[in-house]
Structure 1
Amino acid sequence: MKIRISSELSDADLYAICEAADVLACECPSYLVRLVQEVRAFRQYTTDCIQQFPEDATTHHWLTGRAKQVESLLCQTIVELLQKENLIDEQDQVCLTQLSDRSRSLALAGYQPEVRLAS
């Protein structure tokens, strides 16, 4: 599976990245995805507050805008991380199977099976 890199990552893109990177070796991609999801939830919450508390609309519009900026920064950080790890191809797509295979290889490389000596 491949994801087209853009300035915004959809929920489906974030889920796919998280699934592909979900191994014991490093949880950084998954952690970043969770942060984006939390910021999106907060942004939705502040948007709802605009309707519920119209007297504070100015503050909530400001909070919504700031949350959008944080979300954009986090998405860009995910993209840059994938670039630094050489997981983006010539067509600006992320090869999730490559990410998943690489993560598994790293996890398995750190695994040393217990050697039992014959008694």
Structure 2
Amino acid sequence: MSDSSQNLQLSLEFSDEQLLALCEAADVIACECPSYLVRLLHEVREFRRYTSECIERFPEDTETHNWLSNRASQVEMLLSITILEFLEKENLLDNHNQLNLDRLSERSRKLALSKVLY
């Protein structure tokens, strides 16, 4: 691996930039699981933001929208944990929770090529 390889420090608080980098590095036909998980997490975050807007627009339903926001936060945490566990399970994280994006891309290319060549 060259010194120009990219590492991505991960935690349960995935930033939008981290999610995009992860999705781009893993986006292949062979397995779209990482990209799918990232899209789900993004959708849950968007829903949580939407519920916050609803609280402002519909103050009479604040209790319901707070409940929905709390539930969305729980789903967001579960998806974040699932993404980290998936990356660990696939041996793509080091001991410091760093994901090497080049390694993930290379792994994804190998998977795609193996499907085409065999």
TM over 0.5: yes
Q: CA deviation at 1:2?
A: 1.6
**What's the TM-score once normalised by structure 1's chain length?**
0.91
> Matches of residues 39-118 of structure 1 in structure 2 within 5 Å?
39-112=44-117
- Deviation, 1:91, is 2.1
**Aligned residues with identical type, % of pairs:** 58
Distance of 1:16 and 1:60 partners within structure 2: 31
1:3 aligns with 2:8: yes
Which consecutive residues of structure 1, in runs of 5 or more, have no partner in the other structure? Answer: 114-119
Tell me whether 1:27 sits opposite 2:40 in the alignment. Answer: no
Q: Deviations over 1:5-64 (max 9, x none)?
A: 212111111101100001111000000011011101110110000000001001101111
Q: How many residues align?
A: 113
Larger radius of gyration: 1
Counterpart code for 2:30:
A
After superposition, the CA RMSD in angstroms is 1.1
Q: Secondary structure at the match of 1:111?
A: helix
The 2-side partners of 1:59 and 1:90 are apart by 41
Task: Kindly state the Cα deviation for residue 96 of structure 1 after the two structures are TM-superposed.
Answer: 1.1
Q: Which runs of 4+ in 1 moved over 4 A?
A: none
Aligned AA (1:96)? L
Question: Per the alignment, in what secondary structure is the counterpart of residue 20 of structure 2?
Answer: helix
